[in-house]
């Protein structure tokens, strides 16, 4: 067996591990971050359990740490009290980015992790089977329900050779994105093997696993070996180490080879992570901003490389350099060894250990600016400045850009930085709050910004207008933008709904209210990008009954089902062309058609034509859609039992 199959088998609750079959697996650990967490915990409360049933659950605050009004602080208070009530660890604001802290302090090789953040697969660098999901899936996992997934294809990425100086783990994943595109990993798990693996430290492996999310992959996983042991030992956690790897004769659905020694420094050009070229071919644009950090590249080693490149130098006048260390552990170590002083002396602006500019939380670039970032996403508008050009690179390339003011191949700088491996990380868990043994008497504090999540109604016949028609690769950022202005409202769906699709069409929300809801028509890969459940909850609140698209991104499709919104795909893609905004679409006998499993007939009353769509979901998902979403389904199931 391959490693993925071994872990899945050890956690299998239901189903057959054959590609395309639905399987249910036991979840050992969960994580949430604050932007998806408030909603997840409102859902957990609605499920009516007493204490989480996982081995370990952690609630992190890392996204929305800027406090311009009371909303964020209120949310943090809710998250902290609800965590204590239900037996969940709480990582306080300032302690770091969920994926970095989870890796340092909680990850265990061979365990399953479900997180309400699309970069949860980061923990795959430690040999965990870590999957990003919607907040509701995570709430259900905390309540002891298994996680259901269609058995993905397993792709073996064989690494051979060793990276050359100035080339880093980021370049490995950028190369894969170049080859496979942002759609290339959909329905797949990427399992790494080969001699090249042992040349990569755990933080380097996690950079690769992290950006597997940009391939659209279900997750990525590395073996657990002597490098894993070395990392855990340096964290004082070697007791959780177990060696894990694929069998010699393991079989895979697909094999990809990468010779590490052939890679060069790479860059993802604006506005997509797969728009990848070699840095030397990127045309040397002048750089206005360099942002270093995020769950992709803000480990101790990453920042030490940057510090060593900038030591004793000064950044040019036209460059703003911002650095957000991945965790308080990283920041503390940089402070103690003097690297932080080197960075500050070079002109860096040091930010809190949090997601920060990655989520558009401060440090939006200037109008039309070029921003070079070590992050994982450069979708249009994500930086907070619609006209900005965001380039994604390794810490080495970012440091070279900060130093010279231009996007240059860092090999031009000569000698590469030499950073010794860490033997002992600085461990201090005093910003992680352990839940009490019994939380029954803990008062859960809900400020005015915490509004109940919207509940759908059971499915009935649909006759609605097309509210909007969009093209391919619509991201969750398009559907429900996430920026400094809107993040404080993530637990307040009625307010958020006023901004749905505003990047594409300012009148969308108003129209949805006036037309009493409707239907969305989309192209390929609809809903790519993040696990943001709000991209389904807000359309639900606005009365969207169905999305008809050419194809869907996996997590968003699951979120639509959980919200009771039909995710329908065109049987004939050309039918997309015949639909316009405002057309009235009718689905007769909706419940019967949904239950039948056959193609569904949609009448376009405006055009006087009919076309067919598919509902490619499991029988159980059909029942969830008929019930009007997951909460209604679980409630009715519990009533029947």
Question: Which member of 99, 119, 532, 556 is catalytic?
Answer: 532
Of 294 and 569, CB closest to ligand F3S: 294
Structure tokens at 537: 């909850």
Question: Which member of 11, 28, 35, 62 is catalytic?
Answer: 62
Of 101 and 450, CB closest to ligand F3S: 101
Of 295 and 459, CB closest to ligand F3S: 295
Please choose, out of 92-100, 148-156, 490-498, 587-595, the segment that lies near ligand F3S by the rule CB under 6 A. 92-100
Of 47 and 217, CB closest to ligand F3S: 217
DSSP state of 604: E
Would you tell me how many other CB atoms lie within 10 Å of the CB of residue 236? 11
Please choose, out of 262-270, 351-359, 609-617, 619-627, the segment that lies near ligand F3S by the rule CB under 6 A. 351-359
State the DSSP H helix or E strand holding residue 273, giving kind and residue range, or none if neither: none
Please choose, out of 128-136, 221-229, 245-253, 355-363, the segment that lies near ligand F3S by the rule CB under 6 A. 355-363
Active site residue 534: no
Q: Taking a C-beta distance cutoff of 8 angstroms, is the pair 28, 57 a contact?
A: no
Please give the residues from 465 up to 494 whose contact with ligand F3S meets the rule CB under 6 A.
none
359 binds ligand F3S (CB under 6 A): yes
Q: How far is the CB of 39 from ligand F3S (least distance, A)?
A: 16
Please choose, out of 215-223, 352-360, 410-418, 550-558, the segment that lies near ligand F3S by the rule CB under 6 A. 352-360
Q: What share of the chain is helix, strand, coil (3-state, %, to 5)?
A: 35, 20, 45
Question: Which member of 272, 327, 482, 530 is catalytic?
Answer: 530
Of the residues 59, 376, 394, 475, which one makes contact with ligand F3S according to CB under 6 A = 376
Would you tell me how many other CB atoms lie within 10 Å of the CB of residue 136? 30
Of 110 and 488, CB closest to ligand F3S: 488
For 145, what's the count of Cα atoms within 13 Å in the CB-facing half-sphere?
18
Question: Which member of 74, 117, 302, 575 is catalytic?
Answer: 117
Of 155 and 359, CB closest to ligand F3S: 359
Of the residues 7, 83, 97, 624, which one makes contact with ligand F3S according to CB under 6 A = 97
Q: How far is the CB of 215 from ligand F3S (least distance, A)?
A: 14
Strands 600-604 and 584-587: antiparallel
Q: How far is the CB of 324 from ligand F3S (least distance, A)?
A: 8
Our CA dihedral for 349, 351, 355, 357, rounded to 10 degrees, sits at: -40
Active site residue 429: no
Q: How far is the CB of 64 from ligand F3S (least distance, A)?
A: 10
Q: Report CA-CA distances (Å) from 243 to 230, 283, 395.
A: 12, 45, 30
627 binds ligand F3S (CB under 6 A): no
Of 211 and 546, CB closest to ligand F3S: 211
Would the CA dihedral through 438, 441, 447, 453 be positive or negative? Answer: positive
Of 119 and 188, CB closest to ligand F3S: 119
Q: How far is the CB of 60 from ligand F3S (least distance, A)?
A: 9
Burial class (CB in 10 A: 0-12, 13-18, 19+), 429: middle
Buried b (16+ CB within 10 A) or exposed e, 144-173: ebbbbbbbbebbbbbbeeebbebbbbbbbb
DSSP state of 456: P
Please choose, out of 93-101, 225-233, 239-247, 616-624, the segment that lies near ligand F3S by the rule CB under 6 A. 93-101
Q: How far is the CB of 480 from ligand F3S (least distance, A)?
A: 14
Of the residues 174, 279, 291, 295, which one makes contact with ligand F3S according to CB under 6 A = 295
Of 306 and 630, CB closest to ligand F3S: 306
DSSP state of 263: -
State the DSSP H helix or E strand holding residue 156, giving kind and residue range, or none if neither: strand 153-160
Separation of alpha carbons 272 and 382, rounded Å: 11
Q: How far is the CB of 416 from ligand F3S (least distance, A)?
A: 26
Please give the residues from 118 up to 147 whose contact with ligand F3S meets the rule CB under 6 A.
119
Structure tokens at 149: 């997934």
Q: Taking CB under 6 A as the rule, which mask of x and - marks residues 39-78 in contact with ligand F3S?
A: ------------------------x---------------
Structure tokens at 514: 């006036």
Separation of alpha carbons 92 and 274, rounded Å: 34
Cis amide bond preceding 271, omega within 30: yes
State the number of binding residues for ligand F3S (CB under 6 A): 12
Would the CA dihedral through 529, 533, 539, 542 be positive or negative? Answer: negative
Q: How far is the CB of 118 from ligand F3S (least distance, A)?
A: 7
Active site residue 193: no
Q: How far is the CB of 250 from ligand F3S (least distance, A)?
A: 31
Q: How far is the CB of 91 from ligand F3S (least distance, A)?
A: 13
Q: Taking a C-beta distance cutoff of 8 angstroms, is the pair 499, 466 a contact?
A: no
Q: How far is the CB of 479 from ligand F3S (least distance, A)?
A: 17
214 binds ligand F3S (CB under 6 A): no
Structure tokens at 374: 């070590």
| Residues ≥6 apart with Cβ < 8 Å to 114 | 27, 29, 30, 31, 120, 130, 131, 133, 137, 138, 141, 147
Q: How far is the CB of 84 from ligand F3S (least distance, A)?
A: 23
State the DSSP H helix or E strand holding residue 470, giving kind and residue range, or none if neither: none
Would you tell me how many other CB atoms lie within 10 Å of the CB of residue 588? 13
Of 127 and 273, CB closest to ligand F3S: 273
| Residues ≥6 apart with Cβ < 8 Å to 629 | 455, 456, 540, 561, 562, 563, 564
Of the residues 5, 59, 207, 294, which one makes contact with ligand F3S according to CB under 6 A = 294
Separation of alpha carbons 590 and 494, rounded Å: 27
Active site residue 532: yes
Q: What is the CA radius of gyration of the chain?
A: 24
Of the residues 291, 304, 355, 450, which one makes contact with ligand F3S according to CB under 6 A = 355
Please choose, out of 97-105, 338-346, 428-436, 485-493, the segment that lies near ligand F3S by the rule CB under 6 A. 97-105
Of 57 and 569, CB closest to ligand F3S: 57
Burial class (CB in 10 A: 0-12, 13-18, 19+), 460: exposed
Q: How far apart are the first and last CA of the chain?
A: 38
Active site residue 377: yes
Active site residue 63: yes
**Residues designated as active site:** 62-63, 117, 377, 530, 532
Q: Which residues are at the interface with ligand F3S (CB under 6 A)?
A: 63, 97-99, 117, 119, 294-295, 355, 358-359, 376
């Amino acid at each position: 067996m391959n490693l993925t199959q071994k872990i899945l088998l050890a956690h299998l609750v239901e189903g057959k591990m054959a590609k395309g079959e639905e399987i249910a697996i036991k979840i050992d650990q969960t994580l949430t971050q604050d932007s998806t967490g408030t909603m997840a915990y409102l859902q957990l409360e609605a499920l009516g359990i007493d204490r989480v049933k996982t081995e370990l659950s952690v609630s992190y605050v890392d996204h929305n740490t800027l406090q311009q009004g009371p909303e964020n602080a209120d949310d943090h208070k809710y998250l902290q009290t609800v965590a204590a009530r239900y037996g969940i660890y709480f990582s306080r604001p300032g302690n770091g980015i969920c994926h970095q802290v989870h890796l340092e302090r909680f990850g265990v090789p061979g365990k399953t992790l479900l997180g309400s953040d699309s970069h949860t697969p980061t923990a795959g660098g430690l040999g965990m089977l870590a999957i990003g999901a919607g907040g509701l899936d995570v709430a259900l996992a905390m309540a002891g329900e298994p996680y259901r997934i269609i058995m993905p294809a397993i792709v073996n990425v064989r690494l051979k050779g060793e990276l050359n100086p100035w080339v880093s783990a980021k370049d490995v994943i950028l190369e894969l994105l170049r080859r496979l595109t942002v759609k290339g990993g959909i329905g797949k798990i990427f399992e790494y093997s080969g001699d090249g693996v042992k040349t990569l430290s755990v933080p380097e492996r996690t950079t690769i696993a992290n950006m597997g999310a940009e391939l659209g992959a279900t997750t990525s996983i590395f073996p657990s070996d002597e490098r894993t042991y070395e990392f855990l030992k340096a964290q004082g956690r070697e007791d959780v180490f177990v060696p894990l790897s694929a069998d010699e004769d393991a079989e895979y659905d697909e094999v990809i080879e990468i010779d590490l020694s052939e890679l060069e420094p790479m860059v993802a050009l604006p506005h997509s992570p797969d728009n990848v070229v070699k840095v030397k071919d990127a045309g040397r644009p002048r750089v206005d901003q360099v942002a270093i950090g995020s769950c992709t590249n803000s480990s101790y080693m990453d920042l030490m490389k940057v510090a060593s490149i900038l030591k004793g130098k000064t950044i040019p006048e036209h460059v703003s350099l911002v650095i957000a260390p991945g965790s308080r552990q990283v920041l503390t170590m940089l402070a103690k060894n003097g690297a932080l002083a080197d960075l500050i002396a070079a002109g860096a602006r040091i930010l809190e250990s949090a997601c920060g500019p990655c989520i558009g939380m401060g440090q939006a670039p200037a109008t039309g600016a070029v921003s070079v970032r070590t992050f994982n996403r450069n979708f249009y508008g994500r930086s907070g400045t619609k006209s900005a050009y965001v380039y994604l690179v390794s810490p080495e390339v970012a440091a070279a850009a900060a130093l010279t003011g231009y996007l240059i191949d860092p090999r031009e700088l000569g000698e590469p930085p030499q950073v010794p491996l860490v033997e002992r990380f600085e461990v201090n868990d005093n910003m992680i709050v352990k839940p009490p043994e019994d939380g029954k008497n803990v008062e859960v504090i809900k400020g005015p910004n915490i509004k109940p999540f919207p509940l759908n109604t059971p499915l009935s016949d649909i006759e609605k207008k097309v509210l909007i028609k969009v093209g391919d690769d619509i991201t969750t950022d398009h559907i429900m933008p996430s920026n400094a202005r809107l993040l404080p409202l993530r637990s307040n769906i009625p307010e958020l709904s006023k901004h749905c699709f505003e990047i594409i069409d300012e009148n969308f929300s108003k129209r949805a209210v006036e037309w009493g809801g409707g239907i969305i028509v989309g192209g390929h890969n609809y809903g790519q990008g993040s696990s943001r459940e709000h991209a389904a909850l807000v359309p639900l609140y606005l009365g969207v009954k169905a999305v008809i698209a050419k194809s869907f991104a996996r997590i968003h499709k699951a979120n639509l089902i959980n919200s009771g919104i039909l995710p329908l795909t065109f049987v004939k893609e050309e039918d997309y062309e015949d639909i316009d905004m405002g057309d009235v679409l009718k689905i007769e006998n909706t419940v019967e058609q949904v239950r039948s499993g056959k193609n569904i007939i949609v009448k376009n009353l405006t055009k006087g034509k009919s076309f067919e769509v598919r509902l490619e979901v499991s029988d159980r998902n059909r029942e969830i859609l008929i019930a009007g979403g997951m909460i209604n389904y679980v409630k009715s199931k519990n009533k029947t039992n």
